[in-house]
Amino acid sequence: MIKKKKILIHSIVFSPDGVSTAYLYNDIAKGFKGIGYEVVVLTTTPHYNVVKEELEKQPISKRWGGLFGESNYEGIRVLHVPQKKFKSSLLRMLGFVYWHMVSLLLGLREKNIDVILSPSPPLTIGFINLIIGKIKKSKVVYNVQEIYPDFLIEQGGLQSKFIINVLKWLEQFVYNQSDAVTTIDDVFYTTIMDRFHNKAKLHVIPNFVDTELYRPLSTNVNLDSSLFINNDHIKLMYAGNIGHAQDWEPLLQTAVLLKDEPFDFYVVGEGVMKGYVQQKVQEFGLSNVHILPYQRRELMPELLAFADLQYIFMSKEMEKHGFPSKVYTIMACSKPLLVCSGEGTPIINFLKHQGCSKLVTTIIFQDKVSELVNFLKGITKEELKAMGANGLQEINKNYSKEVVVKKYISLIDSLVN
């Protein structure tokens, strides 16, 4: 009897947590299970976006008196180390250390691991995997979703030269000791390429979208009419985390200038900046801006169908180090994008040849807002539909779940065979 190959997926988030990286790795795990791998997932308890319905579908049972938990995700064994979003920095740090210590213990308990796959952040997850891999004689693959410590340094939250030097050493150690490293686009590849002794270890594998869930729908969707106003205005929407990764000032100023025009702006979700945006909307009297609570993932295709245009305004601190996975879902639903980000950033680099977006790269704030306003005043709904169709064509060709998961399988098969 041929022994099944075994993959340990080690991620800070996984189902039933309701965030984009969790959805991504849910599908990667199912892809490996589908071709005959034994799949085990090592993760945390949901703490980024806790969705009650998902917890009910995938209950977590306590093990070893609550030291960790265990659940079943579509036939895949999932081990959960308890984590919470503490307000206290000290408690967050202790929780982080606890997660790493218990994860190391649980990883070492697993038998016959052929390969370990994990996404960043955090960078330290790669170090833990290298320890497990060394002891278990497993291959280790590290997936760079965000570039650390660059992101922390540019945000201004990390200023200690000692800690910066330690993290830079750790980054190079993880990259060079892993058997393979993947990153999500050519900008990231170019940024980190020179940090490798053996550049052949670095591969570009983009993120992807579930085209079974995210697909074009009719605009006649069944949404709560008290929240989603049915009129003939051009409707713009942002649905996701309302946080520091987005620049909210261009949105607010554009809404002010289009206050008496046939446009509605929707902000859907939760996050640390939601209160600020709500305050500004009230302060400016913006009846054309609608701030709505988080909506279930299954409703996303209907939300996208409702709006004519999806907007993503990247903050200067985040624009070089992150790529919003919602870009793929928007394109898969045949919807166009309105994007503000700097020249040469991952999102601009990806979209500039797709014909499915309006890209605003100017740095000067007033010029940026003027370009946004002029574009919106000059565009028609028919032109927006044509842009959306271009995006859908590109997704089906290169960024479907099936296409990209095959790239991960091909890479890992080449390592373990």
The percent helix, strand, coil of the chain (3-state, each to 5) is: 45, 20, 35
Do 40 and 114 fall within a single domain?
Answer: yes
Q: What is the pLDDT of residue 26?
A: 95
Is the pLDDT at 410 greater than 80? The verdict is yes
Q: What is the pLDDT of residue 1?
A: 56
Assigned domain for 298 exists: yes
What dihedral angle (degrees, nearest 10) is formed by the CA atoms of 203, 326, 394, 400?
A: 60
Do 368 and 409 fall within a single domain?
Answer: no
Q: Indicate the pLDDT class of residue 157, thresholds 50, 70 and 90.
A: low
Average pLDDT, the chain: 93
For the residues 212-219, what does the mean pLDDT come to? 85
* Total count of residues recorded for the chain: 417
Q: What is the pLDDT of residues 278-317, one digit of tens each?
A: 999 999 999 999 999 988 888 889 999 999 999 999 998 8
Lowest-pLDDT range, 177-181, 196-200, 394-398?
A: 394-398
Q: What is the pLDDT of residues 310-324, one digit of tens each?
A: 999 999 888 887 788
Assigned domain for 343 exists: yes
What global pTM score does this model have? 0.80
Could you give the number of structural domains in the chain?
2
Assigned domain for 213 exists: no
* CATH (domain of 50): 3.40.50.2000
Assigned domain for 331 exists: yes
Do 392 and 404 fall within a single domain?
Answer: no
Q: What is the pLDDT of residue 54?
A: 86
Contact (CB, 8 A) for 20 and 49: no
Do 66 and 154 fall within a single domain?
Answer: yes
Q: Indicate the pLDDT class of residue 87, thresholds 50, 70 and 90.
A: confident
Do 203 and 324 fall within a single domain?
Answer: no
Do 249 and 169 fall within a single domain?
Answer: no
Q: What is the pLDDT of residue 18?
A: 84
State which residues form the domain around 371.
234-398
Assigned domain for 217 exists: no
Residue 292, Cβ neighbours under 10 Å: how many? Answer: 15
Do 156 and 36 fall within a single domain?
Answer: yes
Do 96 and 185 fall within a single domain?
Answer: yes
Assigned domain for 1 exists: no
